[in-house]
Amino acid sequence: MKTTKQLYLLILFSAYAISLLIFRAWLTDSTLYKFLIWNLFLAYIPFLISQQMVRKRQRLTKFMFAFGTWLLFLPNAPYIITDIFHLTNRTFVPLWFDLLMIFSFAMNGMLLFFISTYQMHNILIKRFSYSIAWIISSGIMFLTGFGIYLGRFLRFNSWDVLSNPKPLFFNIADRFTDPFAHLKTWGFTISYGLFFLVGFLLINMLISSFMKTISINKKHIQ
């Protein structure tokens, strides 16, 4: 799929999710779930970074900076799936509607996550090698799970690296130096990391099969 079409479809799906939220706010005169829009905005940041990196090959220093920034914001994309924690039957709005609304935002986040990681995976293959790219990409899935834990349960965010680094790094170091005291952290990280990894493998397989089908069809046409 061409990049422009891909972006238009993502924006269309995002607009659908936002329209559900706007309708709910109008119906209830409440902005209870307005945080979903901010979370969706953050989910677009790693996607936009990887889009730019795909278009232009950078020198190693610029690449490392862009990659580090991308990795820092990446957990924000799949983080939205944990917003389902906020789902409660608080108003006369049907629970199924709130579920659809939150799920729509979560699906946007997951799509942005997998598209962006797929793009970065291909960038890594071109810059390094196939095996190194897979090692790094696999590690990214577990780092993403860890990042979501930091955001959901410890309430840190990507900006805290600059604005509030001391408690952030203290909490991270504590979990690595004394892992058995933080089994919840590692249970969450490994479970979500495996989920992302399996999903990433599936996406890669589907895209590869799709590309092979297109190639075969072109040969038949010729």
What pLDDT band is residue 4 in, cutting at 50, 70 and 90?
A: confident
Closest CA to 109 of 142, 157, 153, 148: 148
Closest CA to 53 of 142, 134, 115, 132: 115
* Rounded CA separation 4/153 (Å): 36
Residue 103 has pLDDT above 90, yes or no: yes
Main-chain phi, psi angles of 50, to 5 degrees: -65, -35
What pLDDT band is residue 104 in, cutting at 50, 70 and 90?
A: very high
Closest CA to 196 of 79, 99, 50: 79
What pLDDT band is residue 57 in, cutting at 50, 70 and 90?
A: confident
Residue 209 has pLDDT above 90, yes or no: no
Closest CA to 196 of 132, 123, 146, 127: 146
Main-chain phi, psi angles of 56, to 5 degrees: -140, 130
Give the model's pLDDT for residue 215.
Answer: 61
75-85 confidence digits (pLDDT tens): 999 999 999 99
Give the residue carrying structure tokens 């979500």. 192
* Rounded CA separation 37/18 (Å): 7
Higher-confidence residue: 17 or 222? 17
Give the model's pLDDT for residue 65.
Answer: 95
Q: Half-sphere exposure of residue 63, counting CA atoms within 13 Å on the CB side?
A: 13
DSSP assignment of the chain, as one string? --HHHHHHHHHHHHHHHHHHHHHHHHHHT--TTTHHHHHHHHHHHHHHHHHHHHHS---HHHHHHHHHHHHHHTTHHHHGGGGGGG----SSS-HHHHHHHHHHHHHHHHHHHHHHHHHHHHHHHHHS-HHHHHHHHHHHHHHHHHHHHHHHTS---TTHHHHSHHHHHHHHHHHHHSGGG-HHHHHHHHHHHHHHHHHHHHHHHHHHHHHHHHHHHHHHH-
Q: Quick one: average pLDDT of 196-220?
A: 80
Give the model's pLDDT for residue 221.
Answer: 60
The rounded percent of the chain whose pLDDT value lies above 90 is 80
Residue 70 near residue 50 (C-beta atoms within 8 A)? yes
119-143 confidence digits (pLDDT tens): 999 999 999 999 999 999 999 999 9
